[in-house]
Structure 1
Amino acid sequence: MGIELDTTAVARLREAVTGTIYTRGEEGLAAEVSCFNPAIRHDPDIVVAVATEGDVVEAVRFAREAGIPVRVQATGHGAEAPISGGMIISTRGIDQLSVDPETRLARIGAGVRWAPVIVAAAEHGLAPITGSSTSVGAVGYSLGGGIGPLARQFGFTADWVRGFRVVTADGTVVTADGETNTDLFWALRGGKGGLGVVTEMLLELVSLRSLYGGSVFFEGDAIEPAFRAWIDWSADLPDEATTSVVLLNVPDMDGPPPPLRGRTVLSVRFAYPGDPVEGERLFAPIRDAAPVYLDFVAEMPATAVASIHNDPEEGGPTWIRGLMLDTFDQDAGDVILELAGPGSGAPFLAVELRQIGGATARDPEDGTSVGGRDSGYTLSLLAGDPSTFAEAAPARALAIAQALGGRVSAITNVNFAGDLADKAAFEKVWPPAVFERLRSAREQWDPERVFAFGPPDSSLNQPA
């Protein structure tokens, strides 16, 4: 049920901040902390919708004095479990953005989504290494690593972060970069949470105006041969090319494009930031694998990167389970087709495989805490029928993981881990040495555990 807040202290906080404060039961609270997945509803004691970095300082100091845990949310895309009690700092109002074309650096506020970053960078022939969805918050996404449509060529988004401004547990504003507070900088590039509130991120951009990419769709009898062709074809792609594949059971309802409604399809995605002639040549084996239902692969401006995955802009109730895989071969393909393919009775709207490797396997020279660099693929299972969330979806996901056996990676990147409340799963989102170093960093920067992150009984939350 939460705690009884000191009304006098809350009143002082309202006077001290320029943003808006909501306490439990007040109108506007639910809307401020709404999630992309509407099945998740937060119920905190207090929400501070900050407008400035100074607001964050005041909010953290209030929470520390009140003895309540602090969590942070911007766009709500990363919410995997309801938050009950404590404080949520909503950073969507910190929306400053600037691009320096000389240094190729973007300064990105904590609440900025990828879409405006892409537009601002494109004015100078530049592009961020972004995720598949441009409506996701840039900062929260990058704190976990970030695997996007150009990952094999350019690596994790975190690899391109050059600095942060952070409000620490004692309400102090610090800079963390390659020269100042380097331990905190390392931890924030992949450590995700529990270290402070990032108010600004400095991101290096790449020179990129166009690429050859998009997606093709197969249906009916073409699904299996196209999927099997993708398995062998992707294994031989150069690092400059990035691809993923997704089995979609598209509902017959408003929202999805009419040609896809009510259909089961396989979509192969592709991105090649090089010569379009070479990109077309590299992609030809997929077009030749089976009759193509829809073809949207072509040369495109870098600003159209979101069309490669075409993720929904509006959220719906979802259950998601993510894994990382060391390898994926035809035997693994048998597992997916049998347990999640057409006619399998699987409860999933989408079963997605992303090939990684290439630059994602190489940690930058200055080092990051990103987990999952040794994996070759990601596997995401998404269900959309709430009646399947408690039993059917988890059971089928477990069956798939068990059938894949030794291919399942020992480490799963934190952005793919889903609900972080499970201690055993949480402690496998970083390699052991990285986990220990993160624990030491948290002990240094948040010794009183002001910032709630992960299971309370995890060793990450215990003194080093």
Structure 2
Amino acid sequence: MAAPLPSTAIVELRDAIAGAVFARGDEGLADEAACFNTAVVHDPDVVVGAVSRDDVIEAVSFAAYFGLPVFVQATGHGAFAPITEGLLITTQRLGGVRIDRRSRIATIGAGTRWGAVVEQAARYGLTPVTGSSTNVGAVGYTLGGGLGPLSRTYGFTADWARGFTVVTADGREVRASADENADLFWALRGGKVGLGVVIDMDLELIPLTKVYGGGLFFDTTHIERAMRAWVDWVHTVPDTVTSSIALVRFPPIDEVPEALRGRFALHLRYAFVGEAEEGERILAPMRNAAPAFVDLVGELPTTAIGSIHDDADQPGPAWDRGMQLDDIDQDFVTAFLERAGAGADVPFIAIEIRHIGGGATSTSPSGDDAVGGRLSPFILVMIGVPVPELFDEVLPQSSDRIVEGIEPWIAEETNINFLGHVASTQQFASAWPADAFDRLARTRTTWDPERLFALGP
């Protein structure tokens, strides 16, 4: 536990920082530290709203001098537990995207959301290998690996990272790339946390302007037929297809489109890289498997790629739990629907299963990075109803019951971006292969021997 800060320390920090500085109890701290998940309220000793790399260097040096653990938050996604001590650096103001058209490299500021990168890249006929939501921070998502609608075709987003600018625990600004500080570069591509404060990232873009994609919605009576068809179908599709399904319980509220309002449906998300005619042909078995009451699949510009999953883009209370699955089959469908299907009373607004296996995600193009979850072909995520009173007991217990039913298919390893709330060191370690986790520990010790940067549960 760090000693109380001297009364003059915050004054001196404010003098050194161009951005905002808040001490616990200050008006404005809650807004500066606010998360996308509004059920989590941070209240650290100090918050620094950095507007430059110099601000980050000053904040890290201050924390090291006073023995304060350092936390980092960009867009506020991925927060599942409150920060109640130490120094929080918010990097949301370190935005911006610069694109070198010749090299197809985008330099992306730490606080930049995917939407800005997608829009800028489209001007040059390019696109990033983005996540499913364009509202999420590009850098934070990439640090954990990054999976989205193009993943089976192009791999993890981290596979396209070409360099990072990082402020390390000793207050230095360093470059990490294949040619500079290669051990840190290895760790930043998938290691997620505990390595430093990323100021910006160089990401290679791909020459792509359109996809054939969107969503099919199957009503309650057709969920089982459509899901069984999907489980067989994904074993036949080429690497140019990335898809997922989600059981969605749409609330009967005005914010939900009328066609979906109050329904329990299966949402098939589909993205094909290639000509529309071929994408239509490949999707035909799913269109023929059961009648879709809404069909939104068609040719899309890459600027509309976020519409495929149509993830939430407004803050609110959130609870989710994720894991990866080994190969699934019809027995899995039976076990899953028994506990999560139409006959089950479960407090989840969505349960998604993403197919990521058999394509470019399976191997690292560099042959060596810290990304977890490459060898498990499916990801399952349970998203609870946004009622915080259910977060501590009801949702964990309900998710446990589903997990018990599908346990034979649950993989030992998962990916840190999809893990959800991390409650134990063992759970945290499951986000990487054992050898990668051990190597990450050694790399963190090299770059942060005093464990300044917060890590794990």
TM over 0.5: yes
Q: Are 2:216 and 2:296, in contact at CA under 8 Å, matched by a contact in 1?
A: yes
| 1:427 maps to which of 411, 426, 429 | 429
Paired positions, count: 455
Note if contact 1:242-1:355 (Cα within 8 Å) is conserved in structure 2: yes
Q: Is the counterpart of residue 392 in structure 1 residue 389 in structure 2?
A: no
User: Superposition pairs for residues 218-367 of structure 1, below 5 Å?
Assistant: 218-357=218-357, 358-367=359-368
Does the 8 Å contact 2:249/2:262 carry over to 1? yes
Structure 1 stretch displaced more, 338-347 or 185-194: 338-347
Instruction: Determine if contact 1:169/1:451 at 8 Å carries over to the other structure.
Output: yes
Deviation of 1:220 (Å)? 2.5
Secondary structure of the structure 2 residue equivalent to 1:371: coil
SS of residue paired to 2:189: helix
Q: Tell me, in whole angstroms, the C-alpha distance in 2 between the residues paired with 1:428 and 1:452.
A: 18
Deviations 1:175-195 (A, max 9, x none): 000100000000000000001
One-letter amino acid of the counterpart of residue 377, structure 2: G
With 418-427 and 178-187 compared, the bigger mean Cα shift is at 418-427
**Tell me, what secondary structure is at the counterpart of 1:207?**
coil
Question: What does the per-residue CA deviation read over 1:400-424, in whole Å, with 9 as the maximum and x for residues that have no partner?
Answer: 2222223111111111111234111
Larger displacement relative to structure 2 (256-265 or 269-278): 256-265
Give the letter aligned to residue 438 of structure 2: E
Which residue pairs with 1:381 in the alignment? 382
Partners of 1:97 and 1:117 within 8 A in 2: yes
Contact 2:2 2:68 in 1 (8 A): no
Map 1:21-170 onto structure 2 (within 5 A).
21-170=21-170
Q: How much has 1:6 moved relative to structure 2?
A: 2.0
Question: Alpha-carbon deviation of 1:335?
Answer: 1.9
Amino acid of the residue matched to residue 297 of structure 1?
Answer: V
Please say if residues 151 and 242 of structure 2, whose CA atoms lie closer than 8 Å, have aligned partners that are also in contact.
yes
TM-score (norm 2): 0.98
**1:87-137 deviation line (CA, Å, top 9, x unaligned):** 110000101210111100000000000001000000000000000000100
Question: Could you tell me which amino acid in structure 1 is paired with residue 362 of structure 2?
Answer: A
C-alpha deviation, 1:21, in angstroms: 0.4
Secondary structure (helix, strand or coil) at the match of 2:278 reads: helix
Q: Which amino acid aligns with 1:440?
A: R
Counterpart in 2 of 1:172? Answer: 172
Q: TM-score, normalised by structure 1?
A: 0.96
**Matched residues in 1 for 2:220 and 2:419: separation?**
32
Q: Does structure 2 conserve the Cα–Cα contact (< 8 Å) formed by 1:127 and 1:205? A: yes
* Paired residue secondary structure (1:191): coil
Residue 451 in 1 paired to residue 430 in 2?
Answer: no
Structure 2: unaligned runs, 5 residues or longer = none
Please, what is the CA RMSD of the aligned residues? 1.2
Q: Residues of 2 paired with 1:149 and 1:441: CA distance? A: 31
Which deviations, in whole Å up to 9, do the C-alpha atoms of 1:237-256 show, x marking residues without a partner?
11110000001011112322
Asked if the contact 1:2–1:44 (Cα under 8 Å) also holds between the matched residues in 2, the reply is no
Quote the Cα distance in structure 2 between the aligned partners of 1:401 and 1:263: 24
Secondary structure of 1:398's aligned partner: helix
Bigger mean CA offset, 397-406 vs 211-220: 397-406
Note if contact 2:2-2:67 (Cα within 8 Å) is conserved in structure 1. no
Q: Is the 8 A contact 2:336 2:405 kept in 1?
A: no
Query: Which runs of 5 or more structure 1 residues have no equivalent in the other structure?
Result: 456-464
Equivalent position of 2:186 in the other structure: 186
Rounded to whole Å, the distance in 1 between the matches of 2:414 and 2:303 is 30
| CA displacement at 1:366 relative to structure 2 | 4.8
Structure 1 letter corresponding to 2:7: T
State the one-letter code of the partner of 1:201.
Answer: M
Cα offset, 1:315, TM superposition: 2.6
Aligned 1:192-207 pairs, distance under 5 A: 192-207=192-207
Is the Cα–Cα contact under 8 Å of residues 339 and 405 in structure 2 kept in the other structure?
Answer: no
Alpha carbons of structure 1 residues 426 and 283: separation in structure 2 relative to 1, 3 Å: same
Deviations 1:321-370 (A, max 9, x none): 00100111111111221111112001111000000011111112252100
Amino acid at match of 2:90: S
Q: How big is each residue's C-alpha offset from its partner over 1:181-210, in whole Å with a ceiling of 9 and x where there is no partner?
A: 000000000000001000000000000010
SS where residue 332 of structure 2 aligns?
A: helix
Cα 1:254–1:28, aligned 2, differ >3 Å: closer, same or farther?
Answer: farther
Aligned to 1:458: none
Indicate whether 1:10 and 2:10 are aligned. Answer: yes
State yes or no: 1:369 paired with 2:344: no
